[in-house]
Structure 1
């Protein structure tokens, strides 16, 4: 009998551990997000109907639904494991009436009668986010705001927005656990001026604010690119290599100007 009670206690502990994800030593669940997701959430509080695409465990929509009375959300997830995790999280949080988990690829989980006001896509590469937007662009009609958090290559996201009449209304850059993340908030706006080369690479708002995380990110990139450039110069000078070298030198120049060097 003692062994039975011990086994139950052990299984309960394992269950509790599995119900949370640890990010940088901090437990993340429906009540506590990583700094990265907290900042994404901060741009969604005032909406009543949102969608989180690539929702993973469903923490972001559950977090918002618990804090914003009347908010409802769609959590979209392609892969079976995260989809089941999100379903379980919604059930544990008692949010089955507020958060609906749907399985599908990108924006295909949205229906015309959903009347989603804002869409979040976070934790993916910039090119993947851009492809999700491109493949599902017909689902963006009526959407008021996009909150996008690319882990890498944010320029790909800005380029898509610039070509599809979305204006960047806010940007953030944060550091968490040694990694630097950018958050891009965009709204539909006809006649939006095209972004400059520097805006696409560095962010139209971020490059003017020049915060500490921005400077750290681009100084780090600068050093990495300089090393790559040195290696390119040592190699055989084909047209392809010359083109790569020229593009890299141009990016280095843009970063140098932004950092005031």
Structure 2
């Protein structure tokens, strides 16, 4: 079996996969994570799901090079439609927007029967994913935030349980922690600071653009954004103070 090189982002996801698990990677990005899990002896079986023909063929080719046909299945289909209930212990969905991840989970709820763990990496819209977990009985058990090639990624790990537990006993409201991440808030890493500094900068640029507008709704929008910026300022200040 050949070696497989993957990004730091995918390595972090792989660390959350329990040894011996049957892992389904939905939107598998050429089956790189699935291949790595097999090569490292982490997964006992992998399912790589792809929606489009090009990535589907690329994933098949990647798995074929490993010569592990008995431990891998590459399938073409939409989201969790590639799964049968009870055939995966872990579902990974990475590299998509949070709203798309939520729609995939919502559309395939029946396929989550028997799934013990979700490992989700939204590119944006993490709040929507955390909210879906709460509304559907999935308890967030771990979070990671990392920066790679100038891009910040958040990885959310959940199992069935008490979905509000991670948000209890914190010095921020549940609504705030849905945005920040309850475990990330406790950890207060430099990468989390960098994320919110970037958000601050983004909104400040939008304010500058809006101030050039003569549209009547611009003034109201500026007020809304200034309130958001004020909240972000407070979050950043707490991250810095508590970390010192």
Deviation at 1:212, TM superposition (A): 1.0
1:258 corresponds to? 235
1:201-253 deviation per Cα after TM superposition (whole angstroms, max 9, x unaligned): 11111122111111111101101112213433554333x973x4455344323
Shifted more, 205-214 versus 227-236: the winner is 227-236
**1:96 aligns to 2:60 (yes or no):** no
- Contact map agreement 1:52 1:73 (CA 8 A) in 2: yes
1:248 corresponds to? 225
Q: TM-score, normalised by structure 1?
A: 0.81
Structure 1: state its 5+ residue gaps. Answer: 1-28
1:220 corresponds to? 198
Q: TM-score, normalised by structure 2?
A: 0.86
Mapped to 2, the partners of 1:168 and 1:70 lie a distance apart of 22
Distance of aligned partners of 1:194 and 1:70 in 2 relative to their CA distance in 1, 3 Å threshold: closer
2:170 corresponds to? none
Distance of aligned partners of 1:69 and 1:130 in 2 relative to their CA distance in 1, 3 Å threshold: closer
Shifted more, 225-234 versus 195-204: the winner is 225-234
**1:34 aligns to 2:11 (yes or no):** no
Mapped to 1, the partners of 2:138 and 2:184 lie a distance apart of 17
Aligned pairs, number: 230
Mapped to 2, the partners of 1:191 and 1:59 lie a distance apart of 31
Selected match of 2:131 from 139, 149, 159: 159
2:102 corresponds to? 130
- Contact map agreement 1:166 1:192 (CA 8 A) in 2: no
Shifted more, 173-182 versus 204-213: the winner is 204-213
1:21 corresponds to? none
Larger radius of gyration: 1
- Contact map agreement 2:50 2:77 (CA 8 A) in 1: yes
